[in-house]
Amino acid sequence: MDTGVIVVGAGPTGLMLACELALAGVPTRVVERRIEPQRDSRALSLHPRSVELMDQRGLLDRFLPLGRKVTGWHFGGLPTQLDFAALGARHGYALFLAQARTEAILAERAGELGVEISRGHEVRAVRQDADGVEVEVRGPDDVAQTLRAGYVVGCDGGRSVVRAAAGIGFPGTDETLTGMLGDFAVVDARPGELETARERGVLSVPLEGGSTRFVLLDPELLRVSSREPVTLEEFRAALVRRAGSDCGVGEPRWLSRFGNATRLADRYRAGRVLLAGDAAHIHFPAAGQGLNTGLQDAMNLGWKLAATVNGWAPPGLLDTYEAERRPIGRALIENTEIQTLLFELPLMEQYRRPATALRTLLDELLGMEEVNRRLAGQVSALGTVYPPTTPDADPLVGHRIPDADLPRGRLYPLLKKATFLLLTRPDTPAPPTGLPHLTTLTALHPALPDVTEILIRPDGHTAWATRTTATKKRTEERAGALRGWVGVNV
């Protein structure tokens, strides 16, 4: 066996997954079709839960100096913003940061952990048997090579070769509308023109390096295929139609279309082949959730796959990846389809009046704290809750654990090595020792004063919790939780 895991695709999802696997000591190789890292950045933000993940792995200091914190976010372009700051998280903000920067940081970290990143290697075939997976690639020198690993994970986008080779279906809908984006080095707008453009539904965002991104939907171009190139003249004309002026844009650095093709993989796993990121789900890029969902797929899968490769995974652990993340993919698709309609219908003459009324109503609802928090929790992924594994589980099970100040420092840095973390009361007998994937700390979570013990997964979600003060009962329950989550050797 040449490698423990081959990850196909060196985008944010693939690189994050490679880091997670390597952190657990799994030999990992990333193969990427492109010879050079992607220069242009379709995605521009890390949402609050993704920021938390970087904090948990000790990487946040690499991101923060390069980005800009934003506490408000949009849903369907409605005027009232989602309030991430009101969710009570230490990192209640999105970090405005180009995808290329995110990829560069994760690639650097992967290299530090010993991951081999093979660029210019195009996957031609994937075949699995009972003992492993063979991946045929053609390298930059046009020489064919067969790689073998215990598992392969397709992080190779919406047109995933890995997904097709594994025979995993990708049902959904083709694109029915497209928008345009343009990054311009020159914006010579007259006073008030940018404000007018924003009021009329044109997004404009300053980018690193002095350029500005414009994103718009134009009623006259909604049905143009996303594969059609965009010209500067076309973009300027669309700006005039939507905003009343072309805002003086010039010297485009990147022009592109994006569509609303929406699909969800039938399965996230077929034997020794798994999917993550856009290989598992594609959708309209509403509210910037795609990159973030991919990172969170990787965080969920990484430690489970590593446990399987390293031989300590409890039975069925790897299957929980699909059980937990595919419903998240389904919810993502549903909320982006809703947002697509909120963008599209007001542009269609026959629906303009009722669509405008609908947007006004929904905007009023967003002004209600409970509604705003629910949607903010979904878009930020701070509201992600995984289903409990037992019917009598504590209500906290499956929820993300918020960061906290403990007697010996913050909680999140204790997850840096991607181990389980057990917080216990001082009057409880010590758990078994000598397990490299379990860290124990005598402390209670200050935000959860009635929780007497809690087992936190490597991805920061609750595996088990108890509120009983009966020492014997607590010890018995904990032993069962450790057997079920941390492995058969407990």
pLDDT digit string (tens) for 74-108?
999 999 999 999 999 999 999 999 999 999 999 99
Q: Strand runs (DSSP E) across 404-452, as ranges? A: 405-406, 409-410, 420-424, 438-442
Compute the average pLDDT of residues 196-210.
91
Question: In this structure, is residue 347 part of a structural domain?
Answer: yes
Compute the average pLDDT of residues 438-467.
94
- Reported as a pLDDT band with limits 50, 70 and 90, residue 2 is low
Question: In this structure, is residue 107 part of a structural domain?
Answer: yes
Q: What is the pLDDT of residue 112?
A: 98
- Reported as a pLDDT band with limits 50, 70 and 90, residue 489 is low
For residues 131 and 232, state if they share a domain: no
Compute the average pLDDT of residues 404-408.
91
Question: In this structure, is residue 389 part of a structural domain?
Answer: no
Residue 209 CA to residue 359 CA, distance in Å, equals 35
For residues 278 and 159, state if they share a domain: yes
For residues 367 and 439, state if they share a domain: no
Q: Which helix (H) or strand (E) is 104 found in, with range?
A: helix 99-112
Token pair listed for 348: 């269609």
β-pair partners for 257: 180
Compute the average pLDDT of residues 117-130.
96
Asked whether the whole model's pTM tops 0.75, one would answer: yes
Q: What CATH number is associated with residue 29?
A: 3.50.50.60
Q: What is the pLDDT of residue 474?
A: 86
How far, CA to CA in Å, does 386 sit from each of 146, 300, 324? 37, 11, 6
- The answer on pLDDT for 433 being more than 80 is no
- Reported as a pLDDT band with limits 50, 70 and 90, residue 5 is very high
- The total domain count for the chain is 3
Domain span at residue 451 reads 405-485
- The answer on pLDDT for 471 being more than 90 is no
Question: In this structure, is residue 186 part of a structural domain?
Answer: yes
Q: Which contacts qualify for 102-108: CB closer than 8 Å, 24 or more apart?
A: 102/12, 102/43, 102/46, 102/63, 102/291, 103/10, 103/11, 103/12, 103/15, 103/37, 103/38, 104/37, 105/59, 105/62, 105/63, 105/66, 106/12, 106/15, 106/16, 106/19, 107/10, 107/15, 107/37, 108/62
For residues 297 and 442, state if they share a domain: no
Q: What CATH number is associated with residue 445?
A: 3.40.30.120
Residue 296 CA to residue 309 CA, distance in Å, equals 20
For residues 63 and 158, state if they share a domain: yes
